[in-house]
Amino acid sequence: MLEIKTFPLGVLQTNCYVLHSQQEALVMDPGGDPQRIVDYLRDNGLSLAMILNTHLHFDHIQGNAALAESSGAKIFAPEEDRFLLDTEVGGGGFMDFPETPGFDFEDLKEGKQELLGHECTVLSTPGHTPGSLSFYFPDLKAVFVGDLLFQRAVGRTDFPGGSMEVLKKSAREKIFTLPGDTVIYSGHGPQSTVMDEKQNNPFFQNSSFM
């Protein structure tokens, strides 16, 4: 069974998730100085297999370069978001936020994967950004959604490539169709569940679900 550890990182306290088995780990959205992650991996005797990004906003990728350099792990992210690295919301630097250190990444597409020996379905969930991805682990009854959804809220859509209409469609078709007891791990704030958000998220109260 995979274990899940949450580390709020960076100036916006982005939830960075470490998923690990007995020997290997993956890190999702290292949004700040990754030293706490490096220490955790070392202290638990874990090797880092990969770094995943749900999307390429600066507050989810600030630690990519340093973590990849320290571990040798490859970074995987949606190609549709690459253009954001040339904007302030990806490259950073606006409103005194730090600039994003450069990094290379490999494209990640929708579909089933085996990650750390467990089934994971990569879901294309655009709206917050054009390339936003979610990661559903049925064995864990968990889905990691980045900034698509928060507890009783949704991600911003006023940045380049954002769309509220597309975001709501992604949530309805890709997340709210998962089992109701699936835990939603968001990019910021506390956890929720699929059923709770379907029933109580004010952005979807006029929607109908199967």
Residue 15 has pLDDT above 70, yes or no: yes
Average pLDDT, integer, range 92-108 = 92
* Per-residue model confidence (pLDDT) at position 207: 55
Residue 74 CA to residue 72 CA, distance in Å, equals 7
User: Could you tell me the pTM of the whole model?
Assistant: 0.96
173 domain-assigned: yes
The CB density around residue 121, as the number of other CB atoms within 10 Å, is: 16
Give residue 20's domain range: 3-204
Residue 208 has pLDDT above 60, yes or no: no
Residue 93 CA to residue 81 CA, distance in Å, equals 18
* Per-residue model confidence (pLDDT) at position 210: 42
* Per-residue model confidence (pLDDT) at position 97: 87
Q: What CATH code is carried by the domain that includes residue 14?
A: 3.60.15.10
Residue 18 has pLDDT above 90, yes or no: yes
Number of domains within the chain? 1
68 domain-assigned: yes
* Band (113; pLDDT cuts 50, 70, 90): very high
C-alpha torsion sign, points 202, 121, 141, 210 = positive
189 domain-assigned: yes
150 domain-assigned: yes
> Would you put residue 10 in left (φ > 0), alpha (ψ -120 to 50) or beta?
left
Burial class (CB in 10 A: 0-12, 13-18, 19+), 134: buried
192 domain-assigned: yes
92 domain-assigned: yes
* Per-residue model confidence (pLDDT) at position 209: 47
Residue 78 CA to residue 176 CA, distance in Å, equals 22
- Residues 23-38 pLDDT 10s: 999 999 999 999 999 9
153 domain-assigned: yes
126 domain-assigned: yes
Rg (CA), the chain: 16
